[in-house]
């Protein structure tokens, strides 16, 4: 099939490469010519495992192409995916400017029947707006070309996006038109071979499904984070509780990990947007307010443990803290809403030196940290290091912020020798407290039994 994808961000590029890989001809359009130049030169603007190879192979075979030319992009396609960004507005609602401008650009050009697919995460009712924008443009030029708008939300996890696309749990297609549904089935058949993964529903339910999924996952995380803080006060261990409840099939083991709070481009934005939608419709989802509040507070928990250990905020002045991991989760360089930003901001403000290391997110982190804390403070207090070992050298204590694989099994004896203050703050409960303690290092996890300072 001939597919056009508008928006070569994370979702657009991964979807485009995967559709191309199963034999479709995919034309990716972006209004940012710098991005298209990069892609045409074989460079991938984002870090996603396996994506560079997938794009290169399919580009060499002529199955994935890149352009800034809307005329070419619209003429090419039987199916057009809209995968542009929907940044949050000031009030938390999703900003549909880019989506509607893409819709208008399509309406100005179509000359044969097509299916337009909303792939970006968009509030319920957006497909109607997209349909109206296309119709308006058609009317302006007295055209009567038929088209259908369907909703096909993505459920890709950063760092595992290709695997998620190639072997999805489910493919949600919201379509009120049988022919468009047939085309979508055909398009996704290669990814749904052994079991039918496609769940067909009406457009509005598909739009809501995406928000519901992310809000549910955010709920689990905030619940576990709040419970972890209680477990600490009670002398219980959240890791034991996690296993105890996760083995109940009604609960399931995933997304029950207490940590430093969720970050990234989806959860924070989607929880806000769904809350706004619910308020706008007079059906406020009160749970979401609490979930957000808990998450914000959780981003400061490790800082509180650090100050607790050293004897107050003032005691941090002149200390040096090593920080392992900056990205909001492993296997990505994405720093959006990363808890590390909050922690580093607080440490710097307290006059504590930070030596941070991340396998891939350092340059993006530098940009954001400079923006948030200013050059002077960063110059004085922040060092971005080339290795995990470099970060701990000369440090008083270590904070584990992102659970990258390379941080999983450090040599604790060696760490004990490097860390003058002999303390580890484990923001992801990655380490066995007994092992750390055996090396003579104080261990502070999130909701772990007997190893946290009493509150």
Which sequence positions are flagged as catalytic? 266
Shortest CB 344 distance to ligand UDX, Å: 16
Nearer to ligand UDX by Cβ, of 265 and 362: the residue is 265
In which residue are the tokens 């995916």 written? 81
User: Least Å distance between CB 154 and ligand UDX?
Assistant: 5
Closer by beta carbon to ligand UDX, 70 or else 155: 155
149 or 335, CB closer to ligand UDX?
A: 335
Nearer to ligand UDX, 27 or 291 (CB): 291
Q: Which is nearer to ligand UDX, 140 or 157 (CB)?
A: 157
Cα separations in angstroms, 239 against 181, 254, 447:
44, 13, 8
Q: How far is the CB of 329 from ligand UDX (least distance, A)?
A: 4
CB of 223 to ligand UDX, least distance (A): 10
Cα–Cα distance, 46 to 203 (Å, whole number): 30
Measure the CA–CA gap between 251 and 269, rounded to whole angstroms: 25
CA dihedral (312, 318, 322, 328) positive or negative: positive
Strand partners, 116: 80, 149
Q: How far is the CB of 157 from ligand UDX (least distance, A)?
A: 4
- Are 361 and 335 in contact, with CB atoms under 8 Å apart? yes
Angle at 260 between CA 393 and CA 12, to 5 degrees: 100
402, 330 contact by CB (below 8 A): yes
Distance CA 141, CA 134 (A): 11
- In terms of CB distance, is 11 or 27 closer to ligand UDX? 11
Rounded to the nearest whole angstrom, what is the least distance from the CB of residue 213 to ligand UDX in the complex? 6
Give the residue nearest to ligand UDX (CB).
266
Q: Which of 260, 397, 393, 408 is nearest to 326 (CA)?
A: 260
Residue 264 burial (CB count, 10 A): 20
User: Residue 378 CA to chain centroid, in angstroms?
Assistant: 26
- Nearest distance in Å: CB 160, ligand UDX: 8
User: Whose Cβ is closer to ligand UDX: residue 19's or residue 267's?
Assistant: 267
Taking each helix axis as running N to C, give the angle between helix 339-349 and helix 362-381, from 0 to 180 degrees, rounded to the nearest 10.
Answer: 10
* β partners of residue 127: none
DSSP conformation letters of 89-119: PTTSSB--HHHHHHHHHHHTT--S-EEEEE-
Give least dist CB 356 to ligand UDX, A: 17
Residue 441 DSSP one-character state: -
Ranges assigned E (strand) in 194-289: 198-201
Residues at the site binding ligand UDX, with contacts judged by CB under 6 A: 154-158, 214, 221, 255-257, 259, 262-264, 266-267, 328-329
Question: Looking at beta carbons only, is 63 or 299 nearer to ligand UDX?
Answer: 299
- Between the alpha carbon of residue 21 and those of residues 16, 157, 272, the distances in Å are 9, 19, 35
Q: Which of 172, 165, 160 is nearest to 254 (CA)?
A: 160
- DSSP reduced 3-state for 321: strand
CA–CA distance, 219 with 209 (Å, rounded to integer) = 15
């Amino acid at each position: 099939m001939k597919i056009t994808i508008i928006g070569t961000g994370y979702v657009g590029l991964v979807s485009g490469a995967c559709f191309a890989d199963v034999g479709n001809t995919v034309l990716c359009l972006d209004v940012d010519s710098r991005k298209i130049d990069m892609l045409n030169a074989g460079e991938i603007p984002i870090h996603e495992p396996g994506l560079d190879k997938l794009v290169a192979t399919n580009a060499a075979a002529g199955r994935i192409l890149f352009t800034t030319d809307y005329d070419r992009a619209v003429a090419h396609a039987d199916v057009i995916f809209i995968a542009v960004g929907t940044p949050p507005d000031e009030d938390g609602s999703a900003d549909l400017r880019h989506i509607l401008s893409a819709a208008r650009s399509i309406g100005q050009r179509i000359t044969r029947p097509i299916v337009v697919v909303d792939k970006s995460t968009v509030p319920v009712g957006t497909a109607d707006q997209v349909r109206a924008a296309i119709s308006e443009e058609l009317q302006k030029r007295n055209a009567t070309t038929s088209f259908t708008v369907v909703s096909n939300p993505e459920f890709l996890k950063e760092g595992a996006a290709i695997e998620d696309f190639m072997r999805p749990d489910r493919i949600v297609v919201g379509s009120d038109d049988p022919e468009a549904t047939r085309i979508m089935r055909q398009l996704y058949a290669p990814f749904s071979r052994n079991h039918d993964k496609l769940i067909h529903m009406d457009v509005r339910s598909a739009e809501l499904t995406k928000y519901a999924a992310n809000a549910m996952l955010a709920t689990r995380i905030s619940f576990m984070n709040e419970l972890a803080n209680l477990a600490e006060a009670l002398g219980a261990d959240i890791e034991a509780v996690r296993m105890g409840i996760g083995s109940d099939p009604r609960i399931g083991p995933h997304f029950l990990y207490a940590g430093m709070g969720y970050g990234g481009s989806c959860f924070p934005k989607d929880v806000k947007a769904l809350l706004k939608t619910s308020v706008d419709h007079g059906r406020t989802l009160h749970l979401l307010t609490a979930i957000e509040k808990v998450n914000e507070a959780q981003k400061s928990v490790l800082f509180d443990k650090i100050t607790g250990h050293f004897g107050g905020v003032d005691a941090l002045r002149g200390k040096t803290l090593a920080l392992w991991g900056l990205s909001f989760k492993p296997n990505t360089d994405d720093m959006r809403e990363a808890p590390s930003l909050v922690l580093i901001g607080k440490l710097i403000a307290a006059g504590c030196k930070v030596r941070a290391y991340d396998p891939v997110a350092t340059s993006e982190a530098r940009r954001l940290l400079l923006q948030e804390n200013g050059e002077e403070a960063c110059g004085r207090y922040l060092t971005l290091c080339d290795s995990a070992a470099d970060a701990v050298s000369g440090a008083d204590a270590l904070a584990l912020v992102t659970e990258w694989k390379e941080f999983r099994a450090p040599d604790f004896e060696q760490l004990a020798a490097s860390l003058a203050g002999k303390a580890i703050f484990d923001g992801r409960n990655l380490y066995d407290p007994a092992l750390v303690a055996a090396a003579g290092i104080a261990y502070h996890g999130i909701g772990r039994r007997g190893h946290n300072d009493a509150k």
